[in-house]
Amino acid sequence: MVATHFSHVRTWVFDLDNTLYPPEAALFDQIEVRMTDWVMRELGVDRAEADRLRKLYWATHGTTLAGLMEVHGVDPEGYLHEVHDITLDHMEIDAALVEHVGTLPGRRIVYTNGSRPYAERVLAARGLTGLFDAIYGVEHAGFLPKPRREAFDTVFRLDGLDCAAAAMFEDDPRNLAEPHAMGLRTVLVGPEPHEAPHIHHHTDDLTHFLSQLCAPFAGRPGRATSAA
């Protein structure tokens, strides 16, 4: 039973994008357009070059923002506000997901390479407001992104997280390597499995996966907390 692998977990760490909502919501389609537009305007390049840089910096620096900061010295605050200014009108509440997240015992946190204000908007659109003890954005890691070890160290230290009693859910396989090395149980959330030693579990349906973890706690009242 999958729940037995999580019996020790007291802190549940969730990525945001394409993890707490399905990829079909296509939020990143909107974000990538705004990122490319920002790079075109601020760096004075055409769309093809802006797209190339966006993808290059994501691959080599962890996020496009990290590359822009390190190579071009950009101010992250304005960038984050602009690229996350997207519509969430089409987002749907998954009542079963809300129930299962609320049933998980212990602390629940969100840790995203996006900003905390953006995360709060997405969580609200999914009906998940109030279910997490803390919400950490890239700003809480000094704008260092996952998958860098320094980013995880900073956020987990800030949270007081006990890595040996924690699990992390992520859609990007590379972002699970350091959590695995730090002792967390790792779950890849996405349509395709990724065979690697640092991935303990894979699911293409987070709601169903959490239902298996929550089965031993069925019937107990959920615990709603305000985000810190």
What are the two backbone dihedrals, phi and then psi, of residue 97, each rounded to the nearest 5 degrees?
A: -60, -45
Instruction: Name the DSSP class of 191.
Output: S
d(Cα 153, Cα 179) in Å, to the nearest integer? 10
Do 54 and 8 lie in a common domain? no
Q: Do 104 and 172 reside in the same domain of the chain?
A: yes
**40, 62, 83: which is the final residue of a domain?**
83
CA 58 to chain centroid, in Å, comes to: 15
Q: How many residues does the chain have?
A: 228
Asked if 155 and 108 sit in the same domain, the reply is: yes
What 3-state DSSP class applies to 13? Answer: strand
CATH number of domain containing 134: 3.40.50.1000
- The pLDDT score that the predictor gives to residue 214 is 87
Residue 184's SS3 state is: coil
6, two tokens: 């999580």
pTM: 0.91
User: How many domains does one find in the chain?
Assistant: 2
Per-residue pLDDT of the chain (228 residues; tens, 9 = 90+): 889 999 999 999 999 999 999 999 999 999 999 999 999 999 999 999 999 999 999 899 988 999 999 999 999 999 999 999 999 999 999 999 999 999 999 999 999 999 999 999 999 999 999 999 999 999 999 999 999 999 999 999 999 999 999 999 999 999 999 999 999 999 999 998 889 999 999 999 999 999 999 877 655 443 333 233
- Beta bridge partners of residue 111, listed in sequence order: 136
Tokens 């800030």 label which residue? 158
Spell out the alpha helix ranges (H) of 110-201: 116-125, 149-159, 177-182
- Tokens 């070059």 correspond to what residue? 49
Is the same domain home to 173 and 66? Answer: no
Same domain, 7 and 76: no
11: in domain: yes
Where among 57, 83, 109 does a domain terminate? 83
Distance from C-alpha of 157 to C-alpha of 8, rounded to nearest angstrom: 20
pLDDT at residue 222, as a whole number: 39
Give the pLDDT score at 228: 33
The domain of 58 spans 27-83
Cα-Cα-Cα-Cα torsion 52, 33, 149, 201, nearest 10 degrees, comes to: -110
Same domain (yes/no): 126, 35:
no
